[in-house]
């Protein structure tokens, strides 16, 4: 069975490498892509959308449909992780452990009794180990700057490499860093599960809603120049602003999906302490 697999894999590889011979040469000026599409994008992007970064303009404006469904795919990936992994177990019987945040004293609460509601106690697992002081402090210093950089990447996607996907991933990674450096409960307290799931869908809705708004205003789906009457500016600037709105939607959706997937994978859907 292994040999058959090897033969199939090798022959597919050889066929694919042979097929690349039919491609136009790299950066060939006579290839169809270079003769028809690229000149239009290179010459007209600035006057049609006033976005200097052509990649962003193609991604969010000319090929807006593709990006919308990419966002939907990412949302579906998060949803699939949630449906496959999340288990809603009733509280396991037995004693619970709480830790007093100010003194570090651990309190064992007998089954059936409850602590008085207080902000000073945090729920911990039996295997809890204190996070390393150096790692915890460095990450606390680092996370705000990572988030600021992510916002810059989203907002500056018009002029430099970057955009909703990259910025969203970096934003999500900052929350994941919090979960790794301390524990999952700390990060879930900052980013509740319900909020996370709702924002995930909100991001996709912002994207699709912008497209639908263009449709309502009488132009094609995702033709942002229709937003000119809403934003009180000329159609070219409206396309630039439309791209920004869409990128923000993508950023929110991607950020929340990354956090959602990490939370479910690292705690096998139990939302306890994580790694």
Partner 1 sequence: MIWQLDLAILTLVVIAGIAAITVKDLLGAAILFGAYSFMMCLLWSIMGAVDVSFTEASVGAGVSTVFFVAAVFRTTRRTRD
Helix (H, G, I), strand (E, B) or coil at 97: strand
Compare residues 71 and 266 and give the one whose CB is closer to partner 1.
266
246 binds partner 1 (CB under 8 A): no
268 binds partner 1 (CB under 8 A): yes
Least distance to partner 1, CB of residue 255, Å: 11
250 binds partner 1 (CB under 8 A): no
Question: C-alpha 246: how far from its chain's center?
Answer: 14
Compare residues 200 and 213 and give the one whose CB is closer to partner 1.
200
Placement of tokens 């449909």 in the chain? 65
In Å, what is the CA distance from 265 to each residue of 71, 81, 262?
20, 8, 5
Least distance to partner 1, CB of residue 268, Å: 5
Segment lying near partner 1 (by CB under 8 A), choices 42-50, 61-69, 99-107, 265-273: 265-273
Return the residue of 8, 105, 195, 275 that touches partner 1, per CB under 8 A: 275
Compare residues 235 and 269 and give the one whose CB is closer to partner 1.
269
Return the residue of 60, 178, 180, 227 that touches partner 1, per CB under 8 A: 180
What span, in angstroms and rounded, lies between the C-alpha atoms of 257 and 260? 5
Helix (H, G, I), strand (E, B) or coil at 218: coil
Least distance to partner 1, CB of residue 26, Å: 8
Least distance to partner 1, CB of residue 84, Å: 12
Q: 10 Å Cβ neighbour count for 76?
A: 13
Judge whether 150 and 248 are in contact, CB under 8 Å: no
57 binds partner 1 (CB under 8 A): no
Q: Name the region of 105 (left: φ>0; alpha: ψ -120 to 50; beta: rest).
A: beta
Reported in sequence order, the residue ranges of the chain that DSSP labels E, i.e. its strands, are 96-100, 106-109, 121-124
Cα angle value 158/246/222 (rounded, 5°): 105
172 binds partner 1 (CB under 8 A): yes
Segment lying near partner 1 (by CB under 8 A), choices 167-175, 193-201, 210-218, 237-245: 167-175
Compare residues 171 and 214 and give the one whose CB is closer to partner 1.
171
Compare residues 61 and 223 and give the one whose CB is closer to partner 1.
61
DSSP string, 114-159: -PPP-TTEEEE-TT--PPPHHHHHHHHHHHHHHHHHHHHHHHTTTT
What residues line the site for partner 1 (CB under 8 A)? 53, 55-56, 59, 161-163, 165-166, 169-170, 172-173, 176, 180, 258, 261-262, 265-266, 268, 275
């Amino acid at each position: 069975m292994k040999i058959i697999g090897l033969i199939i894999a090798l022959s597919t590889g050889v066929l694919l490498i042979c097929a690349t011979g039919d491609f136009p040469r790299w950066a060939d000026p006579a290839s169809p892509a270079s003769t028809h599409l690229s000149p239009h994008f290179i010459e007209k992007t600035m006057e049609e959308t006033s976005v200097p970064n052509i990649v962003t303009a193609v991604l969010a404006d000319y090929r807006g449909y593709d990006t919308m469904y990419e966002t939907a795919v990412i949302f579906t990936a998060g949803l699939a992780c949630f449906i496959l992994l999340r288990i809603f177990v009733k509280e396991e019987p037995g004693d619970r452990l709480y830790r007093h945040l100010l003194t570090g004293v651990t309190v064992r609460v007998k089954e059936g009794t409850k602590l008085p509601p207080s902000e000073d106690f945090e729920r911990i697992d039996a295997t809890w180990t204190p996070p390393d002081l150096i790692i915890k402090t460095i990450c606390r210093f680092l996370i705000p700057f990572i988030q600021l950089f992510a916002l810059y990447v989203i907002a500056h996607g018009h002029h430099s490499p970057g955009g909703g996907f990259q910025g969203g991933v970096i934003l999500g990674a900052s929350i994941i860093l919090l979960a790794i450096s301390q524990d999952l409960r700390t990060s879930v307290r900052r980013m509740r599960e319900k909020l996370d799931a709702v924002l995930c869908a909100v991001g996709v809705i912002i994207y699709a809603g912008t497209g639908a708004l263009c449709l309502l205003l009488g132009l094609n789906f995702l033709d942002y120049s229709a937003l000119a009457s809403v934003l009180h500016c000329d159609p070219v600037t409206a396309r630039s602003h439309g791209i920004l709105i869409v990128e923000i939607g993508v950023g929110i959706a991607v950020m929340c999906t990354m956090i959602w997937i990490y939370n479910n994978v690292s705690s096998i859907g139990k939302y306890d302490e994580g790694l």
